[in-house]
């Protein structure tokens, strides 16, 4: 009796988006608390911790990703308006941007070519299949752009989405430490570098450091999305894969 009751509730919950949405927010809430407890150490990056917790939970309960995404999609949807919202901090940095537009433009084009070229080259050197090379190529661009590019050049779009998130986490975890080692103190330089390499997850990390770093990272992410869409298919043609 009790057992069937629980089963009924589970049947209801697994068919409704409520559970997926709620566990996403609860997992992130926990992950964020851990992050604060650890004095904002990038190693307990909240995206990383919550993704690990959620995958463990879904596997333990035998829930598929599609079932989870019924609820997860509401959070995922907000990526669109959040991307548009980046215009606001960017506008607040207008003065600084006017000073720096030329270095920013040069660094962006350079960064986008390096990001795609090095991932194709390294994957090839390490014996990765052409499909993997192409899935990796647009990994530094923001997810929707990267997936579109991956499809045009012969990668696997849904795998690219995952690689994009892992790339973002890698950038967010290592970025600040790398800049320290390179003795870079200028937040606009750090912002551009992390935004080109690690898109929105890098930008989220950058906003935790300073508003200026966040704004420049958001700018780099937006412009490199443009640049990646233009440069990567051309680069792939050039290499001739």
Q: Which of 190, 209, 213, 236 binds another protein (CB under 8 A)?
A: 190
- 119 is an interface residue for another protein by CB under 8 A: yes
- 26 is an interface residue for another protein by CB under 8 A: no
Q: Among 7-15, 20-28, 36-44, which window interacts with another protein (CB under 8 A)?
A: 20-28
> What does the alpha-carbon distance between residue 176 and residue 174 come to, in Å, rounded to a whole number?
6
Site for another protein in 210-239 (CB under 8 A): 212, 214, 218, 222, 225-226, 229-230
Is 13 or 75 the residue whose CB approaches another protein more closely?
A: 75
Q: Contact 212/238 with Cβ under 8 angstroms?
A: no
| Binding-site size, another protein (CB under 8 A) | 110
Q: Which of 25, 36, 38, 238 binds another protein (CB under 8 A)?
A: 25
Site for another protein in 146-185 (CB under 8 A): 148-149, 152, 156, 158-159, 161-171, 174-175, 178-179, 182, 184
Is 58 or 241 the residue whose CB approaches another protein more closely?
A: 58
- 145 is an interface residue for another protein by CB under 8 A: yes
Q: Which of 197, 209, 235, 236 binds another protein (CB under 8 A)?
A: 197
- 43 is an interface residue for another protein by CB under 8 A: no
Q: Among 9-17, 36-44, 121-129, which window interacts with another protein (CB under 8 A)?
A: 121-129
């Amino acid at each position: 009796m009790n057992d069937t009751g629980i089963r009924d509730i589970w049947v209801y919950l697994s068919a409704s988006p409520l559970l997926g949405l709620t566990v996403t927010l609860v997992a992130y809430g926990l992950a964020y608390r851990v992050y604060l407890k650890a004095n904002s150490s990038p190693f307990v990056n909240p995206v990383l911790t919550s993704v690990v917790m959620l995958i463990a939970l879904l596997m333990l309960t035998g829930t598929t990703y599609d079932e989870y995404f019924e609820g997860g999609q509401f959070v995922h949807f907000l990526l669109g308006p959040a991307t548009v919202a980046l215009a606001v901090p960017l506008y607040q940095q207008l003065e600084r941007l006017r000073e720096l537009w030329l270095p920013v433009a040069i660094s962006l084009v350079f960064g986008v070519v390096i990001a795609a070229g090095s991932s194709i080259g390294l994957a090839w050197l390490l014996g990765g299949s052409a499909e993997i090379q192409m899935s990796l190529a647009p990994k530094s661009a923001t997810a929707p752009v990267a997936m579109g590019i991956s499809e045009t050049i012969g990668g696997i779009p849904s795998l690219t989405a995952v690689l994009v998130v892992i790339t973002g986490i890698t950038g967010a975890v290592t970025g600040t430490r790398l800049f320290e080692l390179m003795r870079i103190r200028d937040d606009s330089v750090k912002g551009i570098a992390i935004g080109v390499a690690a898109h929105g997850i890098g930008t989220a990390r950058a906003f935790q450091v300073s508003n200026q770093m966040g704004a420049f990272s958001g700018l780099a992410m937006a412009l490199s999305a443009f640049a990646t869409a233009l440069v990567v298919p051309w680069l792939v043609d050039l290499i001739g894969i």
